Structure 1
Amino acid sequence: MNHADSPIRSMMSRRLTLPARISRWLLIGVAALLPLAIITPIVYWQESNRLRQQATLQTGQAESMLDLMLDYAAQAADSVAPLTNQPCPQIEQALRKQVTVVPFIRSVTLERGGILYCSSLFGVYHRQISSPDKPRPETELRLKSGNVLTPGRPLIIYRKQSGPTAIYIAIDGVHLQFSLDMASDYSPVYMRVGPLWIGPDHAVHPNPSPPFDLLTIERASSRHPYTLISGFNRRDLYHQMASSYELVFLSMAALGLVLAAALRWQLSRPASPTVELQRALDNGEFEPFLQPVVRSDGLGWQGAEVLMRWRHPRDGLIRPDLFIPRAEDCGMIVPMTRQMMRQLARTLGRSRLPPQFHLGINITAAHLRDDALLADCRQFLAHFPPGDLNLVLELTEREMVEPTPEACERLARLRGLGVKIAIDDFGTGHSSLVYLQQLPLDGIKIDKSFTASIGADAPSSHIVDSVAELAHKLKLEIVAEGVETEAQRAYLTRLDVGWLQGYLFARPMPLREFLLRPELDAARSAASSSGPAL
């Protein structure tokens, strides 16, 4: 809640109807749940990505270990291949040597014509296993749940064709299970070979591996014909979120309660600003701040825009965006502006300003409907020698100005007094072009949002050029606000924008501080050579 908002809510709260009370409590409930509603999707997304990375890492670790084992099997097959043209009694010792010296190898068996004829376990051997004319790939893997010697112990068979002889390298399932278990840190890793798969239960299954309902990672080996599968279920994600982010969720729940309590207190406060604004007006708490306006071809401060500030006795200086819109809504803006103009006239009328000093004061549509505006401006100008001050009324666009005959007549009479009329924040309202067409105007003020786009590669960066060209064709003076860099100043000068305003020159300051600044003295000496003011 903004601290500066408190002074403008002073009336007692009225009793709410039942639907209003229900809406209020629903809003409070939303505020209580809002932090959790914001943080939960973020945590969900972050933890999902982490689990995906974990599943990818697990399959990568399993692939590295399994490829290593199968590479050793391929190495043993390559060593045996030159011996396959010899009788089994002459090479059975060589087969046993491979089992002894090559890691992970359990047995080496030779097959020709569909018959196993030589084994590192049995020596000379004879067993029909397949049709002799059945075509087979050069290398393949087989996953088996066991064999005659170890019927309940899984193993993987690496087969390589060497001429008419096929070499079978058996790897014990213990090594296979160890590799899968080592990789299954947070979720199971399954190995699929053809239609069969093996997982953490250390058994070979013919059916598809169990699915994961959150995410599934499949990784096919780049060197051998098998695939690894891993993933996570939603219950794993929820468990991880609850365990790893417990303090985060508790903190967000506490924050939600604080927000709900603050909102309930805020909604219970008085809502009408009229009484507090009237009190501040009676006590003279609204004071003028001036922000310098300089000519693009001159030195020093040749003008200023008057900005209203509220110096509250308890809350200090209050920004205008916190009370000006409320003052306009409740009809207080006209007497507030009138009081500020009187204060300005008394102080500036006793000061030595540069000749033809440019002084801009914001007015709203409510001022144009007020018959006293003409008298206010006449009294204001009476404090200055004729022609010594250029009073510019800057028409704001927060409220639409109806270009009625009465409004146009009032503006024409103001111009007859020597008052200039300009459009403030040109281009940001809903009726700027209508004003140019139907209201008697002397100038426009380019909004700071367009000035900030100068030098940027954006469509709005060209608006300044178009506005300046339009103003020159209509013979209107131009003020550009929001000038903060030398590049913006140089660009606007090239466009022949006559007046510049912004933080590059100075921030808004109290009236008495403005009058003591040395830049004002510089403007007095430079004003004689400058062009006519707006």
Structure 2
Amino acid sequence: MTTGERQNKRWWLRWLLVAAAAALPLAVAVPFVYMQAGLLARHDARGAAEVVMRQADAIFAEADRLAAEMAPQAGKSCAEADSTLHDAAFQPYFRAIVLVRHRVLYCSSITDAFTLPLAQLLPDSAVPPGRSFHFVPGTPMVPDRPAVMAVRLDAAGDGVIVTVDGRYLRDLLDAVGGSGRYRIGIESLDGRQGLAGRRAGVPPPGASSVREVVSTIYPFRVRSLADAALLAEYRKRLAGSYAPFVVLLALLLGYLCHHFLKYRFSLVAAIRRGMRRGEFEVHYQPVIDLRDGSCAGAEALMRWFRPGLGAVRPDLFFAVAESSGLAIPLTRHLFKLVGRDLRRCPMGPLFRVGLNITASHLVEPGIVDDVARLRKVVGSGAADFVLEITEREPLPPIEQVYRNMGVLSASGVKLAIDDFGTGHSSLAYLERFPVDYLKIDRGFVAAIGTDAVNASVLEMIIGLAARLGVELTAEGVETHGQRDYLAAQGVHYAQGFLYARPMPIEALRAWVDELRGGPMPAEP
């Protein structure tokens, strides 16, 4: 792929990510609006059901009261009860008042004496003694208009029936339901009998968003369901309310993503330029042998100093390098700089210099040539090398890895797993791959002397290395207490600010010479 093609690919990728970031608020807002509209519709449907419930309770209470007042007329002749029935029937809501004797209707407020078995009037209902309510599609005098019957019977089957005209309840349902805004109905608790408004009807069986309110006084319930048109109205209203915020957030996220990617891609280009322009340096942190206090080697650490900007944090530019395919070129540049330093300032054949490499670099056949080229540049006797495999990506157990490790080990290069226990490494690593050292992460060292979980993990790592015969190097040692604990536990090497900070090669050489001729540096 040519340079132009790479730049074009990066350009399209950048704008694709910017578009995705800008679309994220919309992707979140759409389901949120749908969910919020559903919640509002269900809340309003319940409110509508509660309004109907209060009004229906009031109507049923009037019917129940009138039935209780008329109950003493049961058993009297129609002539005796006629005036009382006619006076009571002129109250609102009621169609008729009927007297019952031995479960037979015999006198009505709107007709003369007649005979009609109660079972014929309410054929599907078992009318128990006491108070009960029944929804009917019609009555003998008005068969095409529904009604609700409030029935009071004693044990002998004598009593009274107050008929509530269904027109009042239907008017109530239509008024609350609006022009099809809700599908709302009143029904018995078993759902077998009920009454619906004229416009929208009752909620269908099994509808998931139906709100239900049950009367605490009478045996009926109100079921209400917001219509699809009302849901659409809520969605439109909410979408209009949230649209300015969604647009602003989309623009903000798009801008931030563009800014971040511009910086990231510019940082990738800056790393490439930095390698060409010599902006990278290598600093070396001494590694101390805890058995005799001597300096056994140093870890080579890449440092980037940008003109006019100063030092760039290693964790920042290493992360960018790894994600952009620059990890291996950056490692080769590290080898080049180390070779230049050691050629100018050799440290001796027993001095081990640790070089960080990624798992992807160890997989490549070129790693052997890269190391051989470095050793050729520095010449014999300048230093020994330890390749420290970082744990940010797993090391695949493929043949090329075993072959590379075998060739490197045979040539005298040592292998170490860096920051053991914090990334992808595990006991399987030690069983599969021939490593010489394990480097203990500074997080475990910092837990020494505490009750933290990391302290227990440190003990496990030390015990594991002892059983496998692998030497240990502790990173981040900052106190005499940590050093003494590690030495007592059989850890072989240590590095950290207790001994020295990373330094250029000339300063390292002077530091090592001073150490060999004088006491250990004091704790900072």
**TM-score surpassing 0.5?**
yes
Letter matched to residue 163 of structure 2? A
Residue 369 of structure 1 aligns to a residue in which SS?
Answer: helix
CA distance in structure 2 between the aligned counterparts of 1:178 and 1:494, rounded to whole angstroms? 91
Residue 127 of structure 1 aligns to a residue in which SS?
Answer: coil
Q: Offset at 1:27? A: 8.0
CA gap 1:233/1:337 in 2 versus in 1, 3 angstroms: farther
**Structure 1 residue aligned with 2:417, among 423, 431, 435?**
423
**Structure 2 residue aligned with 1:319, among 296, 317, 320?**
317
Residue 245 of structure 1 aligns to a residue in which SS?
Answer: helix
Q: Offset at 1:14? A: 6.4
Residue 372 of structure 1 aligns to a residue in which SS?
Answer: helix
Give 2:511's aligned residue. none
Letter matched to residue 136 of structure 1? V
Give 2:128's aligned residue. 137
CA distance in structure 2 between the aligned counterparts of 1:179 and 1:494, rounded to whole angstroms? 88
Letter matched to residue 320 of structure 1? F
Q: Which runs of 5+ in 2 are unaligned?
A: 509-518
Q: How does 1:13-412 map to 2 (within 5 A)?
A: 13=5, 33-82=23-72, 84-86=74-76, 108-113=97-102, 115-118=104-107, 121=109, 125-130=112-117, 136-138=127-129, 139-143=131-135, 155-163=147-155, 164-173=157-166, 176-177=169-170, 179-180=172-173, 184=177, 187-192=182-187, 197-201=194-198, 215-218=209-212, 221=215, 223-249=217-243, 251-252=245-246, 276-287=270-281, 307-313=301-307, 317=312, 318-324=316-322, 326=324, 328=326, 331-339=329-337, 361-363=355-357, 364-365=361-362, 367-370=367-370, 371-374=372-375, 393-396=387-390, 398=393, 402=400, 407-408=405-406, 410-411=408-409
Q: Is the 8 A contact 1:334 1:367 kept in 2?
A: no
Q: What root-mean-square deviation, in Å, do the aligned CA atoms of Structure 1 and Structure 2 show?
A: 6.3
Letter matched to residue 469 of structure 2? K
In the superposition, the TM-score normalised over structure 2's length comes to: 0.63
Q: Offset at 1:473? A: 0.6
Q: Offset at 1:348? A: 13
CA gap 1:497/1:245 in 2 versus in 1, 3 angstroms: farther
CA gap 1:209/1:255 in 2 versus in 1, 3 angstroms: closer
More RCO (CA 8 Å, sep 6+)? 1
Q: Is the 8 A contact 2:284 2:502 kept in 1?
A: yes
**Structure 1 residue aligned with 2:469, among 445, 453, 475?**
475
Q: Is the 8 A contact 2:437 2:472 kept in 1?
A: no
CA distance in structure 1 between the aligned counterparts of 2:7 and 2:317, rounded to whole angstroms? 31
Letter matched to residue 277 of structure 2? N
CA gap 1:463/1:431 in 2 versus in 1, 3 angstroms: closer
CA distance in structure 1 between the aligned counterparts of 2:272 and 2:12, rounded to whole angstroms? 33
Residue 198 of structure 2 aligns to a residue in which SS?
Answer: coil
Q: Which runs of 5+ in 1 are unaligned?
A: 1-9, 350-355, 383-389, 516-521, 528-534
Q: Is the 8 A contact 2:209 2:225 kept in 1?
A: yes
Letter matched to residue 273 of structure 2? R
